[in-house]
Amino acid sequence: MSFVEVKISGLDQIQKRLEELRGPKARAAMRKSLADGSDIVLAEMQREAPRDTGFLDEHFNRKISTKDGGTSGTAFIGPQGKIKYPKRGVGAGRTISVASVARFAEFGTSKQAANPFMSRSFATSKESVLQKIISTLKSALGM
């Protein structure tokens, strides 16, 4: 899978407040803001996912982690790696993971063209995600 890293700058007041609160309150604010922002990308990714069987778009999730006492955080959004497509047909062979199907769709194979639905989802929603993260952080921090 590909990763997109976004560094937000120019929010010195928010960062200062997070550092003052360092600990459970800062972590809660960071987790809430990343959850709210990642909901936007997750919904867009589900909307953009190829609809061969409908199984793929139902099996995306997100994982949120915070570091440095809640002053920074990460949201990983993508296919559920351990979920396998159900076997189909009589005498169906091996199963394939949702993550593999998403990767094949995103980057293409020798038999199918790339459909970068995950990259497209982030690109079309990044501005609204940023605004949502900022507004949620400000609200959670009482700013």
Domain presence at residue 5: no
pLDDT of residue 34: 93
Domain presence at residue 102: yes
93 C-beta neighbours (distance < 10 Å), count: 7
Domain presence at residue 100: yes
pLDDT of residue 40: 95
Tell me if residue 137 falls in helix, strand or coil: helix
pLDDT of residue 28: 92
Domain presence at residue 124: yes
Domain presence at residue 40: yes
pLDDT of residue 85: 82
- DSSP lists the bridge partners of residue 35 as none
Structural domains of the chain, count: 1
pLDDT of residue 7: 64
Host domain of residue 85? 12-140
pLDDT of residue 57: 86
pLDDT of residue 97: 87
Name every residue whose Cβ is closer than 8 Å to that of residue 47 and which is 6 or more positions away in sequence. 57, 121
10-residue stretch averages of pLDDT, the chain, 143 residues long: 60 85 89 94 92 84 89 89 74 76 91 92 91 91 84
pLDDT of residue 36: 95
Domain presence at residue 7: no
Largest CA distance in the chain: 61
